[in-house]
Structure 1
Amino acid sequence: MAQTASNMLPLGTKAPDFRLLDTVSGKKRSLDACKGLKGTVIMFICNHCPYVKHVNARLSKLAKEYKSKGIEFIAISSNDVVSYPQDGPDLMKKNAIDEGFIFPYLYDQTQSIAKAYSAACTPDFYLFDANLELFYRGQLDSSRPSNEIPVTGEDLSNALNLLLNNQQPPQDQKPSLGCNIKWRNENKHVGQ
């Protein structure tokens, strides 16, 4: 379980657009169709990562808590499913249902969206304002699978509350930490 940190995209960056397969509905979903009225949390996650499994319940809870406040959550998995079949779309759908996700769980087959967001790890979190400009990027909280700190979601919650109260972004934004995104080895995928 190698630890990889976020790349920390510059604040103010405009959210790259996308149109990806929603593994639960089977339909393509765009950023514009999924975004929130007041803000949008985009998370790069996957099924098998212990760091993601560690926070899934809190992600579901936060999404339910903030939906009524005009914030939408969007999850994207960009892992190479040839090398990591447990992260494939069918199992993503099952995971979304099992975890009670109320947000779309999108499949980035080409990995182009992860690259556009400069995503590096799972989980990787981005909070965009109503204009889809980056307000926060970094960790959910300080909890990790092995450090015995409770999962609270306090860093992301704090950023969400500042955004909703029209305040400045948090000054201290710590990178998320998790498994690296499983990038495709292009040589293995020739002809696929």
Structure 2
Amino acid sequence: MADTYSNMLPLGTKAPNFDLMDAKENRSFSLSDVNSDKGLLIIFGCNHCPFVLHVMPKLNEVIGEFHEKGISSFMINSNDPKIKPEDSFEKMGEFVDKYNLNMPYLYDETQEVAKAYDAACTPDIFLFDKDLKLVYRGQFDDSRPGKGVATGDDLRAALEALVSGNPISEVQKPSIGCNIKWRKA
């Protein structure tokens, strides 16, 4: 497993649009489906990555908590299932059930959405304000698989600041995880 860091999309970037199929409800979602008065959280994830699996229970808890505070959330899988069959759309449905996922889990089959967000790893986390401008991109917390318990401290601090109307620190650490499995040209 090679560690890959997020690319740190510039703060203030407007959320790129998407129209992707959800493995949870078997319907498509786009930015126009965001129903939030506070913001939008997008996590690029997948079914197999040890970094995603390490944070998943706590991430799901944080997402449920902040949904009640006005944050919409989506997880997007952009991995090529020819490289990682366990990341197929069908397997995504199993992942939703296993983790009782508190958000739509979208399939980026063409990988165009990952490219538009400059996503590099899983998990790669992006938090946008109510105007869909990027206010946080970075790690969930300082823990890693086999090193500490996932707390979500970094993301939670950004979410708390956003929902309370306080400034979010511009000191943000890149996320680290498995690289996105890009299609071969």
TM value normalised by structure 2: 0.97
1:111 positional shift: 0.2
Residue of structure 2 in register with 1:130 after alignment: 130
1:36 positional shift: 2.4
- CA deviation string 1:45-66 (max 9, x = no partner): 0001000000110111011111
Task: Confirm whether residue 157 of structure 1 aligns to residue 152 of structure 2.
Answer: no
Give 2:91's aligned amino acid. Answer: L
Residue of structure 2 in register with 1:53 after alignment: 53
- CA deviation string 1:124-163 (max 9, x = no partner): 000000000000000000000022x221000000000111
Residue of structure 2 in register with 1:101 after alignment: 101
Give 1:172's aligned amino acid. Answer: V
Give 2:20's aligned amino acid. Answer: L
Residue of structure 1 in register with 2:113 after alignment: 113
Q: Secondary structure at 1:92's aligned position in 2?
A: helix
Task: Confirm whether residue 141 of structure 1 aligns to residue 141 of structure 2.
Answer: yes
CA distance in 2, matches of 1:21, 1:55: 24
Percent of residue pairs identical: 49
Contact 1:34/1:74, CA 8 A, preserved across alignment: no
CA distance in 2, matches of 1:162, 1:83: 38
Give 2:146's aligned amino acid. Answer: S
Residue of structure 2 in register with 1:189 after alignment: none
Residue of structure 2 in register with 1:180 after alignment: 179
**Root-mean-square deviation (CA), in Å?**
0.9
Give 1:5's aligned amino acid. Answer: Y
CA distance in 1, matches of 2:141, 2:35: 23
CA distance in 2, matches of 1:22, 1:60: 17
1:87 positional shift: 0.0
Give 2:158's aligned amino acid. Answer: A
Runs of 4+ in 1 over 6 A off after TM superposition: none
Task: Give structure 1 stretches of 5+ with no counterpart.
Answer: 187-192
CA distance in 1, matches of 2:174, 2:74: 19
Give 2:75's aligned amino acid. Answer: A
Residue of structure 1 in register with 2:85 after alignment: 85
How many aligned residue pairs are there?
Answer: 185
